[in-house]
Amino acid sequence: MKSLTAAAVALAASTLLAGCDRQEQTTTAPPVADTASSSQPATPSEVEHRAAGTVTAVTTDTVTIDHGPVETLGWPAMTMAFKASQPNQLADTKVGQSVAFAFRQDGSGAVLTSIAPQAR
């Protein structure tokens, strides 16, 4: 009986060692990226997006625009609010006005980088 137990222990040990050996063979470090030749993608707050639309509401610090698709984001046409990025940026903006505009996304929403009247 003692030899049967020793055989069972030997079998278990060899199975365990074989499993460890296989795991070492299959676990490898991921390849190291060549950072010298690859460029990091821009974060959303670094990318400027452009669109055109019609102003539906305006306050001193936000403008709501019914705009066409934003190709760079894959957005369909929609109506949304944009925050002014600087004081008085919206001073000459009027409801009903056609505008071309640019914006960046940040943690709190879309922030205008530029807005200008556009001929219809």
pTM: 0.63
Cα–Cα distance measured from residue 4 to residue 11, given in angstroms and rounded to the nearest whole number: 10
Is the predicted pLDDT of residue 38 greater than 80, yes or no? Answer: no
Question: Check: CATH 2.40.50.320 for 45-117?
Answer: yes
Average pLDDT, the chain: 77
The structure tokens listed for 68 are: 């066409």
Q: Check if the beta carbon of residue 104 is closer than 8 Å to that of residue 113.
A: yes
**Amino acid symbol at 98:** S
Is the predicted pLDDT of residue 37 greater than 60, yes or no? Answer: no
SS3 content of the chain, % helix, strand, coil (to 5): 25, 35, 40
The domain locations on the chain are 45-117
- Give 84's DSSP letter: -
* pLDDT value of residue 33: 42
Average pLDDT over residues 43-67: 90
Q: Look at residue 13 and give its three-state secondary structure.
A: helix
